[in-house]
Amino acid sequence: MTRTAATLAMLAAVALAPVSPASAQRSKPLVLESVGSFYVGGKMTEIDGRAAMAGHMYVEYMIPARKTQPYPIIMVHGGLRSGTNFTGTLDGKEGWAQQMVRRGYAVYIVDQVGRGRSGLYEKLYGPLRVSDAKGVMSRYVQQKKHALWPQAKLHTQWPGGDEMGDPSVLALTASQLPEIANFRRQQELNRDALVALIDKIGPSIILGHSMAGAFLWPVADARPDKVKAILGVEPNGPPAHRVDFVGAPEWFKYGPLALSYGVTDVPLTYAPAVASASELKFVQQDKPDAEGLIRCHLQAAPARQLPNLKMPILVVMGEASYHAPYDHCTVKYLEQAGAKATFMRLGDLGIKGNSHVLMLEKNSAEIAGAMAQWLAKAIPSQRPARRLGNRG
């Protein structure tokens, strides 16, 4: 082994090693009634003459010993990632899953179909896409250096060094997994598996990060009576047309239609109804809402409505993320279609400096707290009945 190879091997070992007790989060023990896993969805098929399951989703769960909230939270990770994004931060703290369990929620954490423990069959799902560590650096770690979007300079929450060999960077890179390259296929498969999960566990809150945002709306559309709230953490966007980041002075390059149903690429229930996505017409703003923001694509007037998206919706956005120039467009699109969405700009709450992988950064617990506060107002807690003693 060369000296370079030995050095890289040592760095990788450090990155993947368990966090030392000295750096782990100090808190009271996490008391659970039960913890476990199961698979949901999918169907039997044949691969090279062998019977196999496909389209299924891995789910792990944590049920608190004292469950005070009426509905569980389903956590759905973003692109090229897995459910591990919600079970710990890069600096050894508890993840959003444990944070919400401590607040009395049952939590179900998935690996998307064709990802991680859900299994990947290239012959069934099509070609794969793999992560590019260079993209990881420019979008999550070295934002200030690359300066591809106006808010990149505000990043302060990365929990480590900003060079490729830093343990925090290697840990993030190691967590990136191959995924199905066809995004529409991902949306179809995950929509169906998440609907099967909700049918299994009952009425739920669904949290989706990044790419999973495109699954949130069709799942809620399919089960409007069972999806009790949506937490869109920098959900996939912007609506309709793709945007690329090119740096100053132009900052943004507008691309082709990417989400044919506005906020997803799979069918949604619109009113008046549409027989196909081609009936939806999108128009772009003449000018952005403010400096540093893109010009949103919205529906042409009169806008069709999304009658099934009547549940409380929260869209969460980090101050320094590449979503900062456009997540307001998702909120505007939903509002135009009749949904009532709350836009949580973390920077406005004093939660500063987050990139797109905000659940892994230094102030992750603060963000979980902000979402929990919103949920407490949107969905009343399940309070135990008061016991009345004999008055004699």
What's the CATH number where 354 sits? 3.40.50.1820
Per-residue confidence (pLDDT) for residue 380, from 0 to 100: 77
Range ranked top by mean pLDDT from 18-32, 198-212, 375-389:
198-212
Domain-embedded: residue 8:
no
Specify the pairing of strand 128-129 against strand 107-111. Answer: unpaired
Domain-embedded: residue 16:
no
Per-residue DSSP letters for 208-272?
EEGGGHHHHHHHHHH-TTTEEEEEEES-S-SSSEEEEEEETTTEEEEEEE--TTSS-SS----BS
Look up residue 300 and give its DSSP letter.
P
Domain-embedded: residue 140:
yes
| Rounded mean pLDDT, 125-153 | 94
Q: Is the peptide bond before 150 cis (omega within 30 degrees of 0)?
A: no
Domain-embedded: residue 83:
yes
* Three-state DSSP state, 181: coil
Domain-embedded: residue 82:
yes
Predicted confidence (pLDDT) at residue 10 exceeds the cutoff of 90: no
Tell me what percent of the residues of the chain surpass a pLDDT of 70.
90
Q: 38-60 burial, b if ≥16 CB within 10 A, otherwise e?
A: ebbbbeeeeeeeeeeebbbbbbb
At residue 59, what are phi and psi to the nearest 5 degrees? Answer: -135, 130
Domain-embedded: residue 195:
yes
Q: 333-342 burial, b if ≥16 CB within 10 A, otherwise e?
A: bbebbebebe
For residue 227, the enclosing domain spans: 29-237+307-378
| Rounded mean pLDDT, 2-20 | 37
Per-residue confidence (pLDDT) for residue 382, from 0 to 100: 53
Per-residue confidence (pLDDT) for residue 216, from 0 to 100: 97
Predicted confidence (pLDDT) at residue 36 exceeds the cutoff of 60: yes
Span 200-216, pLDDT tens digits: 999 999 999 999 999 99
Domain-embedded: residue 289:
no
Span 114-138, pLDDT tens digits: 999 999 889 899 999 999 988 899 9
Contacts of 33 (CB under 8 A, 6+ apart): 63, 64, 65, 67
Tell me what percent of the residues of the chain surpass a pLDDT of 90.
87
Span 298-317, pLDDT tens digits: 999 999 999 999 999 999 99
Specify the pairing of strand 107-111 against strand 73-76. Answer: parallel
Domain-embedded: residue 282:
no
Catalytic machinery residues: 210
Per-residue confidence (pLDDT) for residue 325, from 0 to 100: 98
Q: What is the mean pLDDT of the chain?
A: 91
Contacts of 76 (CB under 8 A, 6+ apart): 110, 112, 190, 194, 206, 207, 208, 209, 212, 215, 216
pLDDT grade for 26, boundaries at 50, 70 and 90 = low
Q: Give the chain's domain count.
A: 1
